[in-house]
Chain A
Amino acid sequence: MGASKGEHDNSFSKPLLNGLPSFVVAAHELKSPLALVRQLSLMLESGDVSDADRRRMLRQISLTSERALRLTSDLTRAIRMPDALFKLEPINPQQLCEDVVRELTPLFAAHDRVVKLVSRRRSLLLVANRDLLRRILLNFSDNALHYAEDGAAVEIKINVYNNGQTIRLGVRDYGPALSSDLFKTLSTKLKDASMTPIHARPQSSGLGLYIVNQFADAMNGTIGVTRHRDGATFYVDLQTSNQLSLL
């Protein structure tokens, strides 16, 4: 299979958000998990917690650290995109989505939430880079985890569009609906593949969607959002692989 080289100019010093350099945006994004880890650590140090609380807090520290580390490794990868070659290969999206669900289940369970795959009967193949696609789905799911309402499941869905030429992997959350203004801004920016961060939520710096936009672009894919009455679906569209039809 061929390789794709990202055609981006996203050096780390490039201003991203309101004129702020990207390292400032990244620092802001990392502040929340670090502040939580610090608060929990200080509480554990004080020793004034029950055994059950201690176990729960230690679990929260490790899961929060993993989330922060995922962001830093995504960021590193996004910054290196212009110089990197990414191998594109036929991938079974069902299998990849199952792996993502398995990877995220402990994090969702710790938040009393569920992530599940809405399965397809027919086997499909798409053209992508496994690692980049996995990171996109993890990012969308992380966003959905934060946005979904208590008790509501987050669903990863696989759909086929464009007469079978496009496969859409979507992450559906059930939470507050996106406002019309936010939806319009998101849709326009995603359509234009803007180089500026895209806010999925008011409190977000938009760094996550900015990163996945770079990843999708490197695989000749596009990301987008669909607004629902009770939440949103963030998706990535990728080309179908014709390899199965040759068998």
Chain B
Amino acid sequence: MKDVSVLIVEDDKWLAEQYERVLITAGCKVAISLHALAAITVIDDVRPDAIILDVLLTGTTAFALLHELQSYGDTGKIPIILCTNLASELSLDDLKLYGVKRILDKATMAPDDLVAAVKSVIL
């Protein structure tokens, strides 16, 4: 996955680092935002090919960020992978309108699932 740029929005710094470790090993370029508000600036700067997004963030939640991204033609097209402990309570069908392409359950996913999910959404 050379030259694939991924933004990780996750407020648990150590978990974000773990995702970063996995994606860098897979050849991705990675940026991290610990808050949704900071993510908006990073998205403007980096223009990621995919966003890995936690749902329950400090401050503004993921849904506010999803709304914001959908407000603009260019950012609205960035595929989103939700990576959350609430996976069992979310429906991909309901969230497709917000650019969500995959939902991963933090409690059951393996590190490789993250790479597989990124590959599947950028193809």
Which A residues are closer than 8 A to B by beta carbons? 28, 31-32, 34-36, 38-40, 42-43, 46, 48-49, 53, 57, 60, 64, 111, 146-147, 150, 175-176, 201-203
Establish whether residues B18 and A203, one from each chain, have CB atoms under 8 Å apart when the complex forms. Answer: no
The distance from the CB of B67 to the nearest CB of chain A, in whole angstroms, is 15
Interface residue B28 (Cβ < 8 Å from any Cβ of A) = no
Establish whether residues A36 and B25, one from each chain, have CB atoms under 8 Å apart when the complex forms. Answer: no
What residues on A are CB-neighbors of B12 within 8 Å? 32, 36
What residues on B are CB-neighbors of A57 within 8 Å? 18
The CA of A202 and the CA of B34, in the complex, are separated in Å by 14
Establish whether residues A43 and B22, one from each chain, have CB atoms under 8 Å apart when the complex forms. Answer: yes
The CA of A53 and the CA of B111, in the complex, are separated in Å by 15
Establish whether residues A203 and B57, one from each chain, have CB atoms under 8 Å apart when the complex forms. Answer: yes
User: What's the interface size class on B, roughly?
Assistant: 20 to 34
Which B residues are closer than 8 A to A by beta carbons? 11-15, 18, 21-22, 25, 34-35, 37, 56-59, 61, 85, 106-107, 109-111
Establish whether residues A32 and B25, one from each chain, have CB atoms under 8 Å apart when the complex forms. Answer: no
Identify 21 residue pairs between A and B in the complex whose beta-carbon atoms are under 8 Å apart, listed by A's number: A31-B85, A31-B107, A32-B12, A35-B85, A35-B106, A35-B107, A36-B12, A36-B14, A36-B15, A38-B107, A42-B111, A43-B21, A46-B111, A53-B21, A60-B14, A111-B13, A176-B59, A201-B59, A202-B57, A203-B11, A203-B61
- Sorted from nearest, which 3 A-B pairs have the closest CB atoms? A203-B56, A35-B106, A31-B85
Instruction: Provide the main secondary structure of the chain B interface.
Output: loop
What residues on A are CB-neighbors of B61 within 8 Å? 202-203
The CA of A40 and the CA of B111, in the complex, are separated in Å by 9
Establish whether residues A147 and B85, one from each chain, have CB atoms under 8 Å apart when the complex forms. Answer: no
Nearest to B55 among chain A residues (CB) is A203
| CB within 8 Å for A203 and B58 given contacts A36-B14, A43-B111, A46-B111 | yes
Establish whether residues B85 and A202, one from each chain, have CB atoms under 8 Å apart when the complex forms. Answer: no
Nearest to B106 among chain A residues (CB) is A35
The CA of A2 and the CA of B31, in the complex, are separated in Å by 56
The distance from the CB of B37 to the nearest CB of chain A, in whole angstroms, is 8
Q: Which of A28, A39, A146 contacts B15 (CB 8 A)?
A: A39
The CA of A146 and the CA of B109, in the complex, are separated in Å by 24
The distance from the CB of A234 to the nearest CB of chain B, in whole angstroms, is 15
The CA of A106 and the CA of B109, in the complex, are separated in Å by 29
Establish whether residues B58 and A39, one from each chain, have CB atoms under 8 Å apart when the complex forms. Answer: no
Q: Beyond A150-B34, A176-B35, A202-B61: 15 further Cβ-contacts under 8 Å?
A: A31-B106, A32-B85, A35-B15, A35-B107, A36-B12, A36-B14, A38-B107, A39-B109, A46-B111, A49-B21, A111-B13, A111-B14, A201-B59, A202-B56, A202-B57
